[in-house]
Amino acid sequence: MNSIKVLLNGIGRIGKSILRINDISNSFKIVAINELNINLENIAYGINYDSTYGVLEDKYVVSNDTISNSKNKIKILNYSSLLDIDYKALDIDIIIDASGAKVEIESLKKLDIKRVFLTHPNKNADINVILGVNEKDIKQTDKIISTSSCNATALLPFLKIIDENYGIEFGDIVTIHPLLNHQKTLDSNCIGSTNREVDCSFEFGRSSLQNIIPSATTTIEACSYVKSSINSDLISSNSFRVPTATVGAINISIVVKKEITKELLLDILNSYQKEQYFDIVWNNFEPLVSCDFAKQNYTTIIDHRFTKVIKNKMIKVVLWYDNEYGYASKVVDIVREYSL
């Protein structure tokens, strides 16, 4: 196991996936979890039993202020602010902030730890990182590192491949995203989001189980934090929230500057898959559906049933990605490779 000692802030959907993946990969040592839920039995239960990803074999049990299984012993903290934690006493090297809460970057920089990894895009972070795009740009002085979003993590490696080989003239993307915890099961009041600067979304107050809900998406904005040339002036976007538990898709239409054929496109993508260091691009040719991509580490899964090149200029592609487990696997990869 990597000797890096981690505080995991938040044990929601992404935090739980990071913990489960690291239990298998032993990429680092999670020594503490900071969580607003004060019920330790409920925390252990939520880790052990998951309606989407199944039952954990090596279950966690509670003892005093810790949860443990055969591999790990993890102290549970209940601080409302990361600034109040004594990191030296806990011997913490880095934080993975999977809380989804807004953060004050300058305050985090003052913490007596080596690095903070944010599992959401943040334009004020020292760097926003997506594997396959800009991980080599991480500097030793970068203390606050954003691991971007699930959508951008899936989309941007593909866009980079196309842009570097053929140049993107313009395009459009539509994300098809599973429902999230902030949505309502039945019609209710509108929903606000401070993270997305939304005061009150009427649509997200509607039943998530009965509707396909259209919305804006921050995917291209998140991409621009990583690669500034990929932005909303170049690519338009929107989203549909659908009543499934996990696995998203992105419908992509891109017009390129240089002429291309489908055969050339497939050659480039097949070569990338063979040569890549991280599990990013997977070229799929099978007749699969969304649940077949659940718990996949690959995050840019190209469904070539729908790959088309029109008049040697327009590329049409569909990508799949597990927006929880798949994205979390990339967070684990980034932390393992770039902790110090």
Q: Residue 100: what pLDDT?
A: 86
157, pLDDT greater than 80: yes
Per-residue pLDDT of 39-96, as tens digits, reads: 999 999 999 999 999 999 999 999 999 999 999 999 999 999 999 999 999 999 999 9
- Please enumerate in sequence order all residues whose Cβ is within 8 A of that of 307, keeping only pairs 6 or more positions apart, or say none: 262, 265, 266, 315, 316, 317, 318
Give domain 151-323's CATH architecture.
Answer: 2-Layer Sandwich (3.30)
pTM of the model: 0.95
pLDDT band at 219 (very low <50, low <70, confident <90, very high): very high
Q: Residue 171: what pLDDT?
A: 98
**What is the average pLDDT across 115-126?**
97
- Residue 279, amino acid: D
C-alpha span between 219 and 109 (Å, rounded): 26
Would you say 100 and 12 are in contact if contact means Cβ atoms under 8 Å apart? yes
Q: Which tokens sit at 169?
A: 């003239």
Q: Output b/e per residue, 156-182; b: 16+ Cβ within 10 A.
A: bbbbbbbbeebebeebebbbbbbbeee
C-alpha span between 292 and 176 (Å, rounded): 16
Q: Do domains 5-119 and 151-323 have the same CATH topology?
A: no
Q: Where are the domains of the chain?
A: 5-119, 151-323
193, pLDDT greater than 80: no
CATH fold group of domain 5-119: Rossmann fold (3.40.50)
Would you say 28 and 335 are in contact if contact means Cβ atoms under 8 Å apart? yes
194, pLDDT greater than 70: no
